[in-house]
Chain A
Amino acid sequence: MMPPAVRTRALSKRYGARVALAPLDLEVAAGEFLALVGPNGAGKSTLLLLLAALARPSDGQAWLFGHPVERGPGSSAGRRAVGYVGHPLIAYRALSPRQNLEFFGRLYGLPGLEALVDASLARFGLAEQADDPAGSLSRGQQQRLSLARALLHEPPLLLLDEPFNSLDSEATGVLSGALRQASRAGRTVLMATHDLDRARELAGQVAVLRRGHLALRAEAPAGAQAWASLYRRAAGEAGE
């Protein structure tokens, strides 16, 4: 019996008096695609940062595939399980996509790196810009680079923070395709998003966060109407 991909117990984060995430108990089974929805400030980004071990919880704990999420000496092995895509590019502006992927690939100790990077660049449609500085790429291309970086080491868990933000329709299509592929390959995906259409398209599960609290956790409904009303009910705001 495989341990859940994600399990949290009373996981919380405060910044001063501001509760970014109230104590959260969440479980995500391996292979699920969970959409995290909610208005701004709901705690979606915070949750993902905590799971990626980029932020330290104020309280509580999280486990990924049974291993505790932590930093400090000896914890580095657990990070292989995670691929994270967030608002920032998380790559070096001055380096090309190829150089970026090669650098991060080396950090993960991936064998056959050159071929791997070539394949990744091709898969995400970055072959043409492979040797241009990442800073000169369009937003859509940068997002794809970010995803390429996150998937390079083939992590079983993908954490995505609003990946469809400010993407044009072409880039959105490429990204959706890549995510669908990842999910079909058995990866667990947690995706925070405002884009209810994408969430409906891709997710099998949904969790609604509101003001740091988990308002709803359910199977993803079918149909746009159902999504909109679910969102409205749980988040207490008009659907988008």
Chain B
Amino acid sequence: MTATSQALKLALWAALTVLMLVALHSVFLEAPAERVMGDVQRIFYFHFPSALGCFAAFAVVCGAGVAYLATRHLRWDRLGRAAAEVGVLFCTIVLVTGPIWARPAWGVWWTWEARLTTTLVLWLLYVSYLMVGLYTDSREQRARAAAVVGIIGFLDVPVVYFSVQWWRGHHPVIFGRAQSGGLSPDMWPTVWWCLATFVLLFVALVGLRISIAATEDAISDLEERLSQRG
């Protein structure tokens, strides 16, 4: 690890910390309380970027899968796995914050409304992606299997989205469309801060996870070499 990359990493984490503090400040102290739901609505600021992060993560998983199949460099497999793990993490955030919001807002813990349902299905898809490794014997086998599963999974995402949308009513908070329940303009700055924070968080977590995976792989490589020599 070079000095510049170390410095960069430090800068990244510092920026992330600062951004998080700014975002938290923004969410709890700056953003106005929502007219109908009150403070509970603030959960949206975590919910929405997590959902976006989810989709982004799975796009990365698919891309990493394609890249692996084309080049056979294991680093792409590490990227895919890291992105999938972070994606599942963000999905989990959505699935947990959803009910926390739903309970005071609608009186139920869970509802099979479109976005929550879609997120749950995505969660299932990518947890199954992560489980492939339990059933394969070698790194290359897992990487190949995971790449195929990741590509299929991502192809499934729009299909899941559309089918669930057709099946159910709308998500209560929609913006960009002429529907009630949108965001008031003074909420937008907070949204942007949170979005930026989550993007940075995504990059930081994926980067961290990749370096852990790379170290794990390097260790098992060394073990392999030692046993070959013996």
Contact = CB atoms under 8 A, between A and B. Distances in A.
Contacts of B225: 17
B72 A16 contact: no
A15 B139 CA distance: 8
Interface in A9-68: 15-18, 56, 58
Interface in A50-104: 56, 58
Contacts of B5: none
A15 B72 contact: no
Contacts of B228: 18, 211
B147 to A, nearest CB: 14
A225 B213 CA distance: 51
A156 to B, nearest CB: 31
B224 A18 contact: yes
A139 to B, nearest CB: 26
Nearest to A58: B72
Q: Dominant SS at the A interface?
A: loop
Question: Interface size for chain B: under 10, 10 to 19, 20 to 34, or 35 or more residues?
Answer: 10 to 19
Interface residues of A, number: 7
A15 B138 CA distance: 8
A15 B221 contact: no
B39 interface: no
Nearest to B222: A17
Nearest to A57: B72
B220 to A, nearest CB: 7
B224 A17 contact: yes
Contacts of A56: 72
A16 B224 CA distance: 9
Nearest to B140: A15
Contacts of A18: 224, 228
A56 B71 CA distance: 12
Nearest to B223: A17
Interface in A128-145: none
B221 A17 contact: yes
Contacts of A15: 138-140
A212 B82 CA distance: 33
Nearest to A17: B221
Contacts of A16: 74, 138-140, 217, 220-221, 224
Nearest to B225: A17
A17 B226 CA distance: 11
A16 B73 CA distance: 10
A15 B228 CA distance: 13
Nearest to A14: B140
A158 B221 CA distance: 35
A55 B217 CA distance: 23
Interface of B: 72, 74, 138-140, 217, 220-222, 224-225, 228
7 nearest A-B pairs in the assembled complex, by CB-CB distance: A17-B221, A17-B224, A16-B139, A18-B224, A17-B225, A15-B140, A15-B138
Given A16-B220, A16-B224, A17-B221, 8 more contacts: A15-B138, A15-B139, A16-B139, A16-B221, A17-B220, A17-B224, A17-B225, A18-B228
18 contacts: A15-B139, A15-B140, A16-B138, A16-B139, A16-B140, A16-B217, A16-B220, A16-B224, A17-B220, A17-B221, A17-B222, A17-B224, A17-B225, A18-B224, A18-B228, A56-B72, A58-B72, A211-B228
